[in-house]
Structure 1
């Protein structure tokens, strides 16, 4: 399976998603950050998934500007559409889904710190962590990726996350864009900060590509 990991800018349309789909038709799944699009574009995102026969994993803002988790499969069917877990509440159980022969887990942004709640009842192959904006400190970056690594080891699953290129946490004026991927043993497949290039991860051979250049196997 080929997974595209993107760190787009925040925008009011789907231009960057469309560009990625057109530029990399070989990918099976595209991962975009939390809150990438608004509810107005739901139908268009579904149509893009169907047209390009590609899973789209991301998050969007509903009519009340609240964050929701989102996955559309390669036929344009919505596999997951749920609200973000309110602070200090247990992770919603709908974060584990299966489609054909694939099983996914989904942790929206800070839900990464709720551990395996919602993922415990059965095996998943890939856990996604769409993040809204980047990190506000090096310490947060270490804490965030450290938690993701622990989940990969405990769940024996790939854990993949990405943030927007821009934006700042609660308008603090500072942001470190990140993207990461840990394998089933918690080994680094990708650990990126302040490097916003698009990656393609081939799960069959654990290789990461930037553009057309193979950089890690």
Structure 2
């Protein structure tokens, strides 16, 4: 699988997602941050079908608590996964892989939760805003590496390029990828360029 990892800026629509879909037909799937879709799930389903791409990330339902949800949409525009934050980690079969989904601070608060996530080939980790300190950046990347090793799965995460956590004055955009042995595929800190990870070959291409 060729997975494109994007770090978009917060926006009300899906302009940046559509731009990536147009520019990178070689990608099989696109990973974007928690909440990026906002309430634009129908539009995302249309784009997934139009470009025949797997879309992985998060969206919001403002009338629910917690409002953030994990979502995976297949290339036909069908929603494969749509689960509430802090519920059990769920997996889907797509693009020849068993994909599990960890949403933002679930990594810290509950990790990989539930039996269904056992045996995942790939864990994805859509993060909302950037890290609010250097210490948090180090903590989350270290914990992600440990989780990849414990789960024997690739673990790849990404945040928005902007946005601050609550009253924090600092926002450090983060994206990372670790192999199932905990090897670093990439760690991006204040570097919001999109990347394509070829999981089969464990190769990473930075996209200008």
> Under a length normalisation based on structure 1, what TM-score does the superposition of the two structures give?
0.90
Question: Aligned equivalents of 1:121 and 1:130: distance in 2?
Answer: 16
SS of structure 1 residue aligned to 2:92: strand
1:187 aligns with 183
The Cα offsets for residues 174-204 of structure 1, whole Å up to 9 and x where unpaired, read as 1000100000100100111000111011112
Compute the displacement of 1:121 (Å). 5.5
Label 1:15 to 1:128 Cα distance change in 2 as closer, same or farther (>3 A).
Answer: same
Question: Aligned equivalents of 1:143 and 1:119: distance in 2?
Answer: 25
- Judge conservation of contact 2:89–2:113 (CA < 8 Å) in 1: no
Question: Aligned equivalents of 2:127 and 2:69: distance in 1?
Answer: 12
- TM-align CA RMSD: 1.5
Comparing 144-153 with 98-107, greater Cα deviation is found at 98-107
SS of structure 2 residue aligned to 1:97: strand
Label 1:45 to 1:158 Cα distance change in 2 as closer, same or farther (>3 A).
Answer: same
1:82 aligns with 83
The reply on whether 1:152 has 2:151 as its aligned counterpart is no
Label 1:3 to 1:99 Cα distance change in 2 as closer, same or farther (>3 A).
Answer: closer
- Judge conservation of contact 1:105–1:119 (CA < 8 Å) in 2: no
Question: Aligned equivalents of 1:102 and 1:30: distance in 2?
Answer: 14
- Say which of 90, 95, 101 aligns to 1:95: 90
Question: Aligned equivalents of 1:119 and 1:160: distance in 2?
Answer: 20
The Cα offsets for residues 77-127 of structure 1, whole Å up to 9 and x where unpaired, read as 101111111xxxxxx235222236321111100011222322566311100
The Cα offsets for residues 135-191 of structure 1, whole Å up to 9 and x where unpaired, read as 011110111011110111011100000000000011323100010000010010011
1:130 aligns with 126
Label 1:108 to 1:119 Cα distance change in 2 as closer, same or farther (>3 A).
Answer: farther
Give structure 1 regions of 4+ aligned residues with deviation exceeding 4 angstroms: none
Counting matched residue pairs gives 205
1:14 aligns with 14
Matches within 5 A, 1:153-168: 153-168=149-164
SS of structure 2 residue aligned to 1:180: strand
Question: Aligned equivalents of 1:36 and 1:171: distance in 2?
Answer: 20
Question: Aligned equivalents of 1:118 and 1:170: distance in 2?
Answer: 30
- Judge conservation of contact 1:2–1:27 (CA < 8 Å) in 2: yes
Label 1:100 to 1:128 Cα distance change in 2 as closer, same or farther (>3 A).
Answer: closer
Q: Unaligned stretches of 5+ in structure 1?
A: 86-91, 213-217
Question: Aligned equivalents of 1:192 and 1:47: distance in 2?
Answer: 30
The reply on whether 1:4 has 2:4 as its aligned counterpart is yes
- Judge conservation of contact 2:89–2:102 (CA < 8 Å) in 1: no
Question: Aligned equivalents of 1:45 and 1:121: distance in 2?
Answer: 25
Q: Unaligned stretches of 5+ in structure 2?
A: none
